[in-house]
Structure 1
Amino acid sequence: MPSLLFCGPKLAACGIVLSVWGVIMLSMLGIFFSAKSAVLIEDVPFTEEDIRNDKDPPQIIYGLYNQVGINCFIAAAIYVGVGAVSLCQVRLNKRQEYMVT
């Protein structure tokens, strides 16, 4: 039977730590972008034409804020998946410690 174990215990633990950090960081960024934080305006991808051609000026910028916030939440969900895989690897490594070959 093939083993699903593909990384060692240290790499799996590192993956869990990075995943937890990524989920916390990106979730907070997603919340702040969704709240349209003025501090994050430099990270919103808009051009001067977006401002000039807009009949209702803040609406395009607000839409871009929301899009970046959604992207942050998607990236946080990917980190949750990576964390789940890392957790499975930790458990498989612990199981392998107790197996006698």
Structure 2
Amino acid sequence: MIVCSKRIAILCSLLSAWAIIMLTLMGIFLYSHAVTFAEDLELHEIETSNIKEFYPEAYQRYESAAHNCWIAACLYIATLAFSMHQYVTNRRIQYGY
């Protein structure tokens, strides 16, 4: 069953491939607690007076964000598979396989 054209399938495949690479790398950097993501995780809003309470909460936020990136990358893998299926289906119909 054809849902989109061959050109749209190629475009979606390219965007999905880029998203998989980007989200996987972001997940790796978040899992390694890269300081560049500190503002995105709103670590300044953690209300503790003790540093021993701050670190576990900060690490939990980093790891949660990393897992979310990896889940999104998996969804883009499914999108890539669907786009490639649409491309192959369009080619088969075009050339009469």
TM-score (norm 1): 0.87
Alpha-carbon distance in structure 2 between the residues aligned to 1:38 and 1:85:
36
What is the CA distance between 1:51 and its match in structure 2? 3.6
Tell me how far 1:99 sits from its aligned partner. Answer: 2.2
**Aligned-partner residue type, residue 7 of structure 2:** K
RMSD across aligned positions (CA)? 1.7
What one-letter code is carried by the residue in structure 1 that aligns with 2:48?
R
1:96: which partner in 2? 93
Shift of 1:56: 2.5
Aligned match for 1:52, one of 18, 32, 48: 48
Structure 1 Cα separation of the partners of residues 24 and 49 of structure 2: 32
Distance 2:67 2:86 in 1: 29
- Report whether the alignment pairs 1:18 with 2:18: no
* Contiguous gaps of at least 5 residues in structure 2: none
Gaps of 5+ in 1: none
The alignment-based identity, stated in percent, is 30
Does the alignment pair 1:35 with 2:37?
A: no
Query: Shift of residue 42 of structure 1?
Result: 1.2
How far 1:47 moved relative to its partner?
5.5
Aligned length: 96
Normalised by the size of structure 2, how large is the TM-score?
A: 0.90
**Correspondence list, 1:79-94, <5 A:** 79-94=76-91
CA distance in 2, matches of 1:85, 1:46: 38
Report how far residue 5 of structure 1 moved.
0.7
CA contact (8 A) 1:34 1:65 kept: yes
Task: Determine if contact 1:45/1:64 at 8 Å carries over to the other structure.
Answer: no
Q: Could you say which residue in structure 2 is the equivalent of 1:8? A: 5
